[in-house]
Structure 1
Amino acid sequence: MAATSCGADTEAAAPAVDLAKLDVGGYATLPRDIGKPKNDVVPRLVEAQRLGNIMPLPVEIDPKFVYQGPATHTFLLPGESHLSPIHRWISEVNFANDAKGFISGFSATAQSSKSPALASTLSSNVLIFPDAKSATDAAANLSRAQFFRDEDFPVEPAKLDAYPAAHVRWQPGMQTLVSWIAKDEFVIVTIAYNAEAKMLGESDLPGLSTLSEKAIAATSTSLEKFEPTPPEKFMETSIDPDGMRSISLRRPEGDSFMNVPGTYDLHGSLNFPTDPVKRKQELTDAGVDRVAYDAGELYRAADAESAQQLKDKSAELTHFFRSTPSPKGLPQATCMEYKGPAEGAIRFYCHVAYDRYYAFMGSEQLLDAQQRISAQYAILANSKSK
C-alpha cells in the first residue's frame, strides 16, 4: 500500500510512501479499538486528564513561572500519591486514611528559572472527592503532613488573609508555604517555595502568601467550569471520546509511565512542555485542538499545511541537537540526536506529519525512534484508508 501526506501542497512535495516497506519493528500499524473501561482505575485517569484541561498553568497564575521541568508527574491517584510533585516538600505517609474517598487529581508545577538554586516554585494541586464533607475532612487531615527536613527546619502554623478557612503551614528555614483548602468536592493544595530567599537567609512569607492566594483564586475560578463524573458512572466513561487514542501508537511495556497515556485539549497539553509560553504560541498558530500521549505525542492541527508547519517548527535543529538519518522508506520524517545537558532527556527524537496530524516520538535508541515514527505514520495512513 502506498500513502502520501494529504493536502495540496504537502502531497505534491512529499514522495509516496510504501507502507509495506517501512521498518516498524514489532509495533502495530493499524488503528485500534480502545474499548470500554475494564476497571475503575482508567476512569480515574480520564477524570484527572479532564481536570488538567481546566486547571490554570502556573505561568497563568504568575508570569514568572515560565519553566516546567521535564518528566514532571502530573497525576495524583490512589496508591500513588507519593509520586506527585507534592512530595518534593511534604510527605503524606497516612494519605490513604487522611484522604478517604479520594478519587484522583492533577498537579501543575513550574519554576521561575531552570536553575533550582535560584528558582521560585509554584505547585498547584487539586484532589477530587465524592462530596464536600469528604473534601473538608481531607483538607484538615492532610494539613498534618510531615515536611521535608522538618527535624532540622521547624514548621509553624500560618494563615492566608484572603482564605481564613485554609489550613496553612510555614517552614521558614526552607522558605516553603503550603496550604490546604476545601472547595465543594475538591481540595486545593498550594505549595509556594522561594529558593533564593532560602539561600540568602531572608523571609519571603508575605510574597509567598500573596502567591498562594493568587493560585487559590485562579484554581477556584477554573474549578467552576469542571463537573466531576459521579463515581457510580465511572464505568460508563468514554476512554477515547474523540478517537485520538485509537490512531496513536500504543506505549510499549517498559516505557516510562510518569504520565499515563491520554488525550488533552490544547490548554491541557501545555502542562507538559518545558516552555509552555512558546509552545502555546506554536500550537495556537497551528490550530491544534487535541493532543494524544501514548508511545509518543500526536497533535491534531487545523489542516495538513498547519500540521506540516508545526512539524517543521518542532523539528528545528538547535545547538543541542544533531541531525540523524530518517527512517527507511520515510524521508518525510525528521530525526535528531540530543546532545545537551538536560538531566533525564531522551537521546533520539523523530517527527513526521500526515494529513492534519503531527507526530513526535522519542527513544534511547535511534532505530527504535525510527520504527516508532514509521509505525505511527502507518497507523495514520491506514486510518484514512478504512
Structure 2
Amino acid sequence: MQLTARSHRFRAGVALLFACALAATSCGSDTEAAAPAVDLTQLDVGGYATLPRELNEPKNDWVPRFVEAQRLGNIMPLPVEIDPKLVYQPPGTVRPFLLPDESHPSPIHRWIKEDNFADDAKGFVSGFSATGQSNKVNSIAYTLSNSVLIFPDKKSATDAAANLSRAAFYDEGPVEPAKLEKYPDAHVRWQPSGQVLASWLAQDQFVIVTITNNYENVILKESDKPGLTALAEKAIAATTSALEKFEPTPPDQLMDTSVDPDGMRSISLRRPEGDSFLNVPGTYDMHGSLHFPTDPVKRKEALTEAGVDRVAYDAGELYRTADAESAQEFKDKMSELDRYFRGSASPKGLPQATCMEYKGPAKGAIRFYCHVAYDRYYAFVGAEQLLDAQQRISAQYAILANSK
C-alpha cells in the first residue's frame, strides 16, 4: 500500500496521544456501578463488522513474513533497556518491515539509502527495528536505531551484511571506515559531519544493523565517536543475547504458520482502507508491545499493573488483561480527561464507552478517541470524526461480545 510521508506523520498521532493518556492517574471510585446491559442490535456500527473474523491460511508470503517480524519484536531489547537515557521512542517509526523503500521505509532508511536492498539482501525474510532517543527534541538528543534482519542461512546473512554496508548515507559529508573493538567482524562506517555511526554484523542467519547518532553534537560542532561506538557495542551485545531466545521459522514452513497464533486478531476490529499501514496489523506479547509507545517506561508500569499479556494492533488497540476487573480499571485510567482531552458523547446504546476530543498542540494528531472494556479486554480507537470513533468502538465491543 503506497503511503506518503504526510500520512505517516498524520497517523503517528495515535501513538503519541495514547502515550499521553497513559501518563494520567486513575481517578475512579472504589465502587463502580454495574454496567448497563447492552443490546447489540441497537448499536450504531456504521459499516464495520460485528463478528469475529476467520483468518484462514495466508494467501501470500508477506503475511507470514510479517508475523515472523512480529515474533522477532517480542524478543528485541528496548532501547531504554540498552541505555536508560533512551526513554523516548519517536512516533510514526516503522518497527516490523519487509522491503525498506519509500512506501514502507525502515528506520535504517532515515540515515542510509537502501535503494538496492532487494539485490543486496537476497533471501531476506523480514526484520524488526527498535528506535529510541534521549529526548523527544532531536536537537538535544542522541539516538539509537537497532534492527535485526532475518535470512534463510548464515551465508545469506554474511553476504547481505557486506553488501548493505556499502550503501550511501543520506546526509552530505564524507564517510569513513571505522571499527568496533568488541566486534571485529562488523562492517562499520562513520560520518563525522552527521555524527552517525552505522554497523552491519552477521550473526548466524541474522544481520544486526545498529545506527547511533548525536544530532546535538552536530549543532554544537562537537564529536563523540567513542560514545556512539560504546552505545553501538552495548546494543549489539544486548541484541545478540536476545536472539538466543528466538527460533526462526524455516522459510519453507512460513506458509504453514498461523497468521493469528493467539486468536487476538480474530477478535480485533479490522483496519479499514485509508488508515495508516505504516506498522501493519499484528499481535505482540507485553514486551513486544512496548516498542510502540513514545514512553515505554510508563506504558510498562500500566500494562504490568493490568496484567496485560497480549496486545493486538489493527483498527485500534486491543489489550488482554488479567481479568475483567483489571480491564475496567485499565480503561478508566486510560480514558481519564486532562487539559488536552475533553469529554465527548458516548456511542448510542453503549454508555460504558468513554469518548474524548484532543485539544492539544500535537501536530497531525487524530482528533477523537473512544475507550471501552469488555470482560478481560480493553479496547482503544481513534478517528477524525466523532461518529466514526463511536462506530468503531461499538463494533469492537460487539465483536468481543459475539466472540463468547
TM-score (norm 2): 0.90
Q: Which amino acid aligns with 2:81?
A: E
Q: What is the deviation of 1:242?
A: 1.3
Deviations 1:273-293 (A, max 9, x none): 111100001001100000011
Matches of 2:312 and 2:394, distance apart in 1: 17
Which of 305, 309, 322 is equivalent to 2:329? Answer: 309
Q: Which amino acid aligns with 1:212?
A: A
2:174 paired residue number: 154
What are the within-5 Å matches in structure 2 for residues 58-207 of structure 1? 58-78=79-99, 80=101, 83-150=105-172, 153-207=173-227
1:241 paired residue number: 261
What are the within-5 Å matches in structure 2 for residues 248-259 of structure 1? 248-259=268-279
Q: Is the 8 A contact 1:43 1:237 kept in 2?
A: yes
Deviations 1:167-222 (A, max 9, x none): 11001111110000000000000010111111100011010000000000000100
Q: Is the 8 A contact 2:174 2:192 kept in 1?
A: yes
Deviations 1:304-354 (A, max 9, x none): 000011111111222221111111111111111112222332111100000
TM-score (norm 1): 0.95
2:305 paired residue number: 285
Q: Structure 2 unaligned runs (5+)?
A: 1-29
Is residue 48 from structure 1 mapped to residue 69 from structure 2 by the alignment?
Answer: yes
Number of corresponding residues? 374
More moved, 315-324 vs 358-367: 315-324
Matches of 1:312 and 1:241, distance apart in 2: 29
Q: Is the 8 A contact 2:199 2:211 kept in 1?
A: yes
Q: Structure 1 unaligned runs (5+)?
A: 1-8
2:395 paired residue number: 375
Deviations 1:46-100 (A, max 9, x none): 0000000000010111011111122211122036476111111111111111111
Q: Which amino acid aligns with 2:343?
A: S
Q: Which amino acid aligns with 1:113?
A: N
Matches of 1:46 and 1:304, distance apart in 2: 28
More moved, 199-208 vs 12-21: 12-21
Matches of 2:365 and 2:98, distance apart in 1: 25
Matches of 1:174 and 1:67, distance apart in 2: 21
Q: Is the 8 A contact 2:100 2:114 kept in 1?
A: no
SS of 2:325's equivalent? helix
Q: Is the 8 A contact 2:138 2:216 kept in 1?
A: no
Matches of 2:279 and 2:348, distance apart in 1: 30
Matches of 1:99 and 1:341, distance apart in 2: 41
2:16 paired residue number: none
Q: Considering only aligned residues, what root-mean-square deviation do their CA atoms show, in Å?
A: 1.4
- Tell me the percent identity: 76
1:343 paired residue number: 363
Q: What is the deviation of 1:136?
A: 0.5
Which of 6, 21, 30 is equivalent to 2:51? Answer: 30
SS of 1:90's equivalent? coil
Matches of 1:286 and 1:37, distance apart in 2: 33
